Amino acid sequence: MRTWQKARAGVLALALVASTAAAPASGTATDCCGPSSWTTGDKSALGTSPTTQSPVWFTVANGVTSEVFYPRVDVPETQDMQYVITDGFSFVDLERDATNHVVSMPDEKSLEYTVTNTAKGGRYRITTTYVTDPARATLVTRTRFQSLDGGTYRLHLLANPSMAGGAGGDTAAWDGSGLVASGTENLFGTTATVVSSLRASTGFSAHDNGYSGAASDCLVDLRADHTLDNGFDAVSGAGNIV
């Protein structure tokens, strides 16, 4: 999701399934593979649904989405997911590092969280509410982006999947309306393939699939000239993708 608007609210849905689907590709990133790391264990939120129809657990750390677990609580499918903010010419902020974080619960009897991230320099505020869909294996977040200083900013979403419990063997593709990641790992003697689908209620005005830390990485691309120049629909082989 990329926008010039000063204030915008949108809903993101990250759905996971245990099957794969083909996706078209018109541009392919070939600079595999990039480094692999993991997220912090210092969590500020942990959520899930009370229903068995939604075998998804999520955590928040440093103000952003960290792991999303599926179909068991010991199988992470995401390293982290967060926003990247730029004015298009002078700075590129990574939400986790550039903001001060406040976590609250609208109802302490429910595992719903609101995370308010305010830019350390006072430029903007990002407010995101987290909840799991009780009927599906889906994490749903609602985000409001506010300019606090009258400036106009571009908002990007950076997702770092780690499918089926591992980051090194994933693939990614654009399916025409959203981003799809998949991976296969051997977990405790059982081979598991998991697919995630990322959707935005506002739609995406641009997209990129690449390898973490490589030139195709959207964050690397943005930091180079404050503009998303890459538009890869897919990656050439399994690796640590973003």
Contacts of 188 (CB under 8 A, 6+ apart): none
Handedness of CA 16, 38, 1, 73 (dihedral sign): positive
First to last CA, the chain: 14
**pLDDT of the chain along its 242 residues, tens only?**
443 333 445 777 777 776 544 444 469 999 987 667 778 889 999 999 999 999 999 999 999 999 999 998 988 899 999 999 999 999 999 999 999 999 999 998 899 999 999 999 999 999 999 999 999 999 999 999 999 999 999 999 999 999 888 777 899 999 999 999 999 888 777 788 899 999 999 999 999 999 999 999 999 999 999 999 999 999 999 999 99
Calpha distance 138→145 (Å, rounded) = 22
Residue 20 confidence (pLDDT):
42
pTM: 0.89
Calpha distance 55→138 (Å, rounded) = 9
Q: Which of 4, 10, 34, 7 is nearest to 235 (CA)?
A: 34
Q: Which of 181, 222, 212 is nearest to 199 (CA)?
A: 181
Residue 36 confidence (pLDDT):
73
Residue 227 confidence (pLDDT):
95
Handedness of CA 182, 81, 154, 7 (dihedral sign): positive
Q: For the chain, which domains are there? A: 7-19+29-230 (2.70.98.10)
